[in-house]
Amino acid sequence: MKFYFPDSQDLVSPSYDFKRDEYSPLRVRQRDDKYAHEVLTKPAYQGLLVSKAIVDGSVGGVGKYTGAQRQRLFRLGVRGFFRLPDDVTTIGDCGAFSYVNEHTPPYTTDEVLDFYEECGFDSGVSIDHVILGYQRPAMIAKPPPPEWVERREISLKNGLDFIDNARARKSTVEPVGAAQGWDPESYADSVQQLQSFGYKRIALGGMVPLKTPDILDCLMSIDEIRSTDVELHLLGVTRFEAISKFARLGVTSFDSTSAFRQSFMDDRDNYHTDTGAFTAIRVPQVDGNLMLKRAILSGQVSQAQAIRSERSALKALREFDVGTCTLHHALEALAEYEEVIAVKKSYLTLYEETLSSAPWKSCPCGLCEKHGIDIAIFRGTERNKRRGFHNLAVLAAKMKTLPKPIKRKTTSV
């Protein structure tokens, strides 16, 4: 099972000063900042996924790349741009959720193939159109809305055009067909048609909103018609608890930002371990947190008092990490800061669990050893992204513990 990490230009600065919370004045982002695969001791993913919408933008807005970055990507190729090791593969897609509200996708097959080939991707996904809805088999059967049918037809037509054009060009990019559906039967039919076009690898799109049992229902229906030599990729889906089941049903790869984003988006599960997760310790920056700045400007919070309490909390945490401060004193400093900035929700009980366990002290990811408690502090992009990279390393380690899937035997007719 391969895990692909979707790119969104997430890097960290090795020269960032955590004590002063500032960057080096000599820093050049593209030259000096590092990707996850460059700062972690062990590989955190087997592949990298890059969306055309992220690079070029779409009807929904501009992409995440500057003009200079885009030119550099085309000049160096995806492997050179990301400084990828040889064992990390690449896949490109269109970023269908970026144009999900449009009547038709904003790209042509030739434009997408040009993008994949010019960037030097190993694989590329055909243009699909996300279906905004799902019907469970147990629901009362009713005809799908015409828009759902049209979107699936668009995806299948683009799938046929994509593989035909790739063959005509003798493209070096492995074609991956994109399947859409609104229930297990329609997903299975999409896969069956893509197989008939000649695809040996098929990506299942539009499953991000689905619950795990619904995904399994679809995979079981697909498995009834799937050729034994056809591999499946799940677009945007992790669901670690079900990965073994996914593998038995033909899934050989998936991509997701979930583990990374939980480091700063989840309410509690910010720092992952092989047995669970801990809550990161929130110490918002007085001069960098938008909500806190608004509270100071409105007079609700004293800036001077907030700065003193902020520094006191950080000092206590670092002293706790090296053993010169008690857990009780560290929690008192955090409680004082929470009171000064008038937080709406206290996490002190959860912080006690995090500090008592100090999971960063035994983590071999490379970042935890280097940064200590700072990686468990919820504060600014440099700490939060490092914690996200750590989470990717934990996911990779957990995946190695999964049992190898049993290959389905081919039955003779």
Active site residues: 93, 255
Number of residues in the chain: 413
What does DSSP say about strands 89-93 and 123-125: parallel, antiparallel, or unpaired? parallel
CA distance 378 to 281: 5
Single-letter amino acid, residue 352: E
Burial 233-267 (b: 16+ CB within 10 A, else e): bbbbbbbbebbebbbbbbbebbbbbbbbebbbebe
What helix, strand, coil percent values describe the chain, rounded to 5? Answer: 50, 10, 40
- Mapped to the 3 state alphabet, what secondary structure does 315-333 carry? HHHHHHHHCCCCHHHHHHH
Structure tokens at 122: 């190993």
What does DSSP say about strands 174-179 and 123-125: parallel, antiparallel, or unpaired? parallel
Structure tokens at 199: 């695809």
